[in-house]
Amino acid sequence: MSLHSSTPVLIVMGVSGSGKSTLASGLSTTLGWDFLEGDEVHPAANVAKMAAGTPLTDEDRWPWLRSIRRWIDEHQAAGTPGVVTCSSLKRSYRDVLAANGVVFVHPTGDERIIATRMAARTGHYMPASLLASQLATLEPLQPDENAIAVDVSLSPAEQLAFTLDHLAAHGVAVPLDPEGASGTASGTPAAV
């Protein structure tokens, strides 16, 4: 992983139920960076399709991805670091979002853990029935992508500590004892 910009933006990516929002919120709070919940900028038609159990097509996603990219560009132009959630399931989607200073943070791992979390979730438009289609669409991160893989079997606090440790090792200013992320998660940070 490398940061080529003085204004980093973290994109917490992955399938629904992987813990993107929890990790992104923790990163934003701990680092004091702006936060965008990518689900909130989906066009209404996309939300309606997903709520009805219909997977989105590439054509459905392009306007949404361009909205997120505009947010990234605006933040970097203003010198304001940020954290955004966005599934970023395909490499072509990540390529739209990638820019200098963009790091993908991917909570990933056991499908059963993700399915259990998704089934327990309330108040979200994405039904658990779409998890299989998201997993089928997900393209693994490649070595040339600026990314950190985070194991979903870790607790939210451990995921946060793991990610912060990895960012600090690559020059991002991280609070020495971030609340809720004290201690280091076991294991070595996994860059892809």
- Please tell me what DSSP assigns to residue 81: -
- Per-residue model confidence as pLDDT tens for the chain (192 residues): 555 557 899 999 998 878 899 999 999 999 999 999 998 888 888 878 877 878 778 899 899 999 999 999 999 999 999 999 998 999 999 999 998 889 999 998 887 887 677 766 666 555 555 677 778 888 999 999 999 999 999 999 999 999 999 999 888 888 865 554 444 443 333 443
Domains along the chain? 9-191 (3.40.50.300)
pLDDT of residue 126: 56
Q: What is the dihedral of CA 110, 115, 121, 124, to 10 degrees?
A: 110
And the tokens for 126? 């994405």
At residue 191, the 3 state secondary structure works out as: strand
Query: Could you tell me if residue 171 is left (phi over 0), alpha (psi between -120 and 50 degrees) or otherwise beta?
Result: left
And the tokens for 101? 């200073």
pLDDT of residue 24: 98
